[in-house]
Amino acid sequence: MFDLSLYVITDPYLSKGRSHREVVEKAIAGGATMIQLREKESTSLDFYRLAKEVVSATKKQGVPLIINDRVDIALAVDAEGIHVGQKDLPAPVVRKMIGKDKILGVSAGNIEEAKIAEKEGADYIGVGAVFSTATKSDARQAIGLERLQTVAKSVNIPAVAIGGINHDNVEAVIQSGVDGVAVVSAIVAAENIQKAAEEMKIFIDRSK
């Protein structure tokens, strides 16, 4: 069992010099229910060391840590799960590597991708980008709320919305029927991370 309500994704370029551990601890203190560690530029060794540091914080607080893309890192630090995109290792391969007890998330931008992800063993799908976002250089064109709702309702597994979600639009996103929101800059780049997470969680909870 896992709670996708407030799924916070790290970004070293938005953290304003704060460590990943500090960002994660403050986000969890503010109500984050799941953390994804995303690190595109680090060497494998640096990513491993970083993940070890972060997983000690998430396990202490009982919040699942999801590693983005890197199955080897997820297994090496015993993270709770892995999230892969459409250009990463196929879901069945990842599932075979991580076993049945780890959480597997798969990105989906349309109904076909969502249904395939479900069929291939994903535990949840990440749907987006909902709105335009600058936090991923390879993000696809924004799909909007109507298509988000259509994709999320096409499968029987939980869906978390991602892409351009902030305090101004989070209520509308939740009301589209998703199980939670994945947030990057609205929390990670905030001056007060804990407060930003607390406010976001309030919006989420009252919109369900």
Instruction: Supply the CATH number for residue 46's domain.
Output: 3.20.20.70
Q: CA–CA separation, 195 vs 208, rounded Å? A: 21
- Digit-coded pLDDT (tens) for 130-186: 998 776 655 678 999 999 999 999 999 999 999 999 999 999 999 999 999 999 999
Identify the domain containing residue 134 by its residue range.
6-207
pTM over 0.75? The answer is yes
Residue 64 included in any domain = yes
Residue 30 included in any domain = yes
State the total domains in the chain.
Answer: 1
Active site residues: 38, 107, 136
Task: Provide the mean pLDDT of the chain.
Answer: 96
Residue 110 included in any domain = yes
Residue 132 included in any domain = yes
How would you write 63-101 as a 3-class SS string?
CCEEEECCHHHHHHCCCCEEEECCCCCCHHHHHHHHCCC
What is the structure's pLDDT at 38? 96
Residue 45 included in any domain = yes
Residue 1 included in any domain = no
Helices (H) and strands (E) in the chain, counts: 9, 8
- Digit-coded pLDDT (tens) for 50-102: 999 999 999 999 999 999 999 999 999 999 999 999 999 999 999 999 999 99
Residue 22 included in any domain = yes
